[in-house]
Structure 1
């Protein structure tokens, strides 16, 4: 009974936390039209906070600093959008020549399929027509979804800058709200948790921008070496797709590979483009991102992939972008709540002790399941004893005493007393 009474409060606390999380996810799904712009605004406001503080140190005022920071962000995003659209227009001028080469490539592909798999060209064309008819039958749904997405994008272009400004301008007001909302918790812990969330999200965002710049340069260098035209456009576009973690660069390599297949005489150029982009992705995941972002955003890859999939199911394309920063924020919150610390541990990166060969034995010893062995390792000890070459000898001295001689080692107090008694004078 005592054990059950001790476990019941923890189970109740855990169940209430999980129920609250489920209700929160349902609320987020129901209010995603407003919530998605708000979440993007929070990320942008956190990334713009150092710039706003710089303007405030120049004594420009809090409101002016927030407005200037948002304007700088808009100008940066406008420049990227203009670059992509401008390069797309330039590439579109050569569309007729590219189309002719693409059609020749398709013709060669059809002949290869016909000779290899013995599939007639008419059969392939019939299948293509069937797929086209299916796509046209769903054109209405696709058009409505497209216009709905455009409407959300237009709404976001208005709401996101507005939300970002107020989040920067009212940041201290919102901080006091959290102090008031969690009065039962230590205020220093609330302050520390908020600062940790800010550090984690800012490290992720600034690290992502830095990594995207490095990846854009590496992609462009590889395309230039292979002689692919519009290298800066394709390299930058692939790096921007890194907003989709793990799959962004892979998707971004398809477009330049198709372009290389159309404009080059050999298909090996397309293979080289894909191989180079995959190599860049390997360098980004194992060397560039760990050294720039470091251990501040500690999410293990398995939980990251699950979070991306859940984010895509919940918010679509926006969820893929928001998945990792939201997961990092949730981990910080779980670490701060005692009943959810185990789940925060599950989201985080494994330690080196968990990846050793004998990790299972050490884990069982750590949690007291098995006893620690008395002697884990054998120690070999060499003892050197130095002795003198000479053998020690013992010398005994004695003195021979005859019966007539007095024993020099023995006193005779009784005889002396008798002599005193005979001669009292």
Structure 2
């Protein structure tokens, strides 16, 4: 009997690992098909989040707000994406001359740091700058958004049909779950997922926008070339926890070393950007989010690596919303609650119900 239980345990583990391998392989192989769909869902959640905020506007007839909220949100977001696409194109042309100077001025940066520290850091810093290639990193970010823009029509159609279909979600739930108990449970899961993702996207977008504006102000004040772009990069990278924050500070600092001669200004830019990221990321953002982002920091980093490996830069942007959905779903069923506890930050999954 004991041997039978062991065999069943190993069989379950084997099937689980095989299933996970199949899922990862499928997501990786179908990335070109699945990423536009995932982006469409992301934007759809954002549209609904904005629509809900528009519906709260006082002194306007509620029926009027209900009628215009979703179309107005759709127009605002699509218009913003078109403007972002135009901005990225112009910024790439503007910054191409600066990026081309990286290799020629890298030794000047190393000499500045060596003089400051009175230590010969030429060899280790040369290796660091070879590994941390700012030009390549920027190109990856731009390529990710170029990919989104090239699939814009396809993504727009997905969003449009999602917005049309959402009117019939309740009817579909009634048909799928005739029993009231099952229907209420399914409705609760979908409502929790929708509310959590919308809140996460809305708060993260607003906080990222503030971070981007402050980064632009700091770079503009010190006369750093491409200050609008650095603000935009900070805004975008703020959607990638931890890793994005570090990169958003390092990229303008490296370019400050290349462009500016005053070491005091370079250090001031670095310290100002660190303070902005620390205050917003560790004080303001957690207060706004409260307990909504109940995901282990290790799982956050792991999901960034896994989704980044499967879907590239776009996968890193979508990693946290995907993990939030997974955590909420796993927390609803007795058979998967242990996995939800492992994914959660402190083991408290009651809030995700």
How do residues 95-110 of structure 1 correspond to structure 2 at under 5 angstroms? Answer: 95=97, 103=104, 106=107, 109=110
- Unaligned 5+ segments in structure 1 are 132-144, 353-425
Structure 2 distance, partners of 1:112, 1:151, is: 35
Q: Give the corresponding residue for 2:64.
A: 58
Q: Choose 1 or 2 for highest CA Rg.
A: 1
Structure 1 distance, partners of 2:201, 2:47, is: 10
Deviation for aligned residue 1:172 = 3.8
Going from structure 1 to structure 2, the CA distance change for 1:178 and 1:32 (only over 3 Å counts) comes to farther
Secondary structure in 2 matching 1:240: helix
Q: Give the corresponding residue for 2:189.
A: 193
Structure 2 distance, partners of 1:247, 1:223, is: 21
Q: Give the corresponding residue for 2:327.
A: 331
TM-score (norm 2): 0.73
Structure 1 distance, partners of 2:69, 2:167, is: 15
Structure 1 distance, partners of 2:174, 2:20, is: 21
1:237 is aligned to 2:196:
no
Whether the aligned pair in 2 keeps the contact of 1:10 and 1:339 (CA below 8 Å) is: no
Secondary structure in 2 matching 1:58: helix
My pick for the range that moved more, 19-28 or 205-214, is 19-28
Deviation for aligned residue 1:238 = 1.8
How do residues 173-252 of structure 1 correspond to structure 2 at under 5 angstroms? Answer: 173-174=168-169, 176-177=171-172, 180-181=175-176, 186-224=182-220, 226-228=222-224, 230-252=226-248
Going from structure 1 to structure 2, the CA distance change for 1:266 and 1:195 (only over 3 Å counts) comes to same
Whether the aligned pair in 2 keeps the contact of 1:250 and 1:277 (CA below 8 Å) is: no
How do residues 148-159 of structure 1 correspond to structure 2 at under 5 angstroms? Answer: 152-153=147-148, 155-159=150-154
**Paired residue total:** 326
TM-score (norm 1): 0.62
1:45 is aligned to 2:41:
no
Q: Give the corresponding residue for 2:155.
A: 160
Q: CA RMSD in A?
A: 4.6
Between the two structures, name the one with larger relative contact order (CA 8 Å, sep ≥ 6): 2
Q: Give the corresponding residue for 1:32.
A: 31
Structure 2 distance, partners of 1:276, 1:298, is: 29
Going from structure 1 to structure 2, the CA distance change for 1:166 and 1:107 (only over 3 Å counts) comes to same
Going from structure 1 to structure 2, the CA distance change for 1:193 and 1:270 (only over 3 Å counts) comes to same
Whether the aligned pair in 2 keeps the contact of 1:249 and 1:277 (CA below 8 Å) is: no
Going from structure 1 to structure 2, the CA distance change for 1:57 and 1:21 (only over 3 Å counts) comes to farther
Q: Give the corresponding residue for 1:80.
A: 84
Deviation for aligned residue 1:334 = 0.3
Structure 2 distance, partners of 1:209, 1:202, is: 10
- Unaligned 5+ segments in structure 2 are 56-61, 131-139, 349-353
Write the deviation string for residues 329-355 of structure 1: whole angstroms up to 9, x where unpaired.
000010012100011111112169xxx
Whether the aligned pair in 1 keeps the contact of 2:109 and 2:258 (CA below 8 Å) is: no
Structure 2 distance, partners of 1:172, 1:33, is: 29
- Counterpart of 1:271 (choices 267, 271, 275) is 267
Deviation for aligned residue 1:292 = 1.5
